Amino acid sequence: MSNRLAAHLPRAITNLSSRARSAIGVAVATPLLLFGLLGLGRPATRPDSGLAGCTSISTTHGLTARDFREIRALFAASHWPRLRAAGIAYADLLSQLRTARGTDGYEAVWFYQRLSAACAVHRASR
């Protein structure tokens, strides 16, 4: 740097006491520390309601039509489109099968496989 430019710069502070140096260090470090700690203190995210639907669908014995509506609502509120679509389709199928006669059950197996695959993918990504 040329001497002409250096003449316009403020002079360096050279005679600082140790107390002043400590105060400057604290003033610089405090915001950095607070922002770092606040970043770690984020609230835990709620688990997806579709995963709650996955656990409730695994116990299908003794469920009523009202239970199927509640399970469908859990899947409908899911953030993941694949889980939402598979869960809604399976809950709708289960409510239809309660009154259906003469079905072979292959459709229910396919829907359940699709739902269990979606549940497994999203449980692993948690």
Torsion region of 61: left, alpha or beta (phi above 0 gives left; psi -120 to 50 gives alpha): beta
Average pLDDT, the chain: 74
Q: What is the mean pLDDT of residues 101-117?
A: 79
pTM of the model: 0.57
Q: How many whole angstroms separate alpha carbon 98 and alpha carbon 88?
A: 16
Give pLDDT, residue 19. Answer: 72
Give pLDDT, residue 76. Answer: 92
pLDDT band at 119 (very low <50, low <70, confident <90, very high): confident
Q: What is the mean pLDDT of residues 81-107?
A: 81
Q: How many whole angstroms separate alpha carbon 43 and alpha carbon 93?
A: 37
- What lies within 8 Å, CB to CB, of 78 at 6+ separation is 48, 49, 50, 51, 53, 84, 87
Q: What is the mean pLDDT of residues 80-88?
A: 91
pLDDT surpasses 60 at 70: yes
Percentage above 90 pLDDT, the chain: 10
Q: Domain limits of the chain?
A: 3-40, 49-124
Q: What is the mean pLDDT of residues 33-44?
A: 54
pLDDT surpasses 70 at 20: no
Q: Are 57 and 87 spatial neighbours (Cβ–Cβ below 8 Å)?
A: yes
Q: How many whole angstroms separate alpha carbon 75 and alpha carbon 80?
A: 9
- Print burial letters for 21-34: b (CB count within 10 Å at least 16), e (below 16): eeeeeeeeeeeeee
Q: What is the DSSP string of 91-117?
A: HHHHHHHTT--S--SHHHHHHHHHHHH
Q: What is the mean pLDDT of residues 11-37?
A: 64
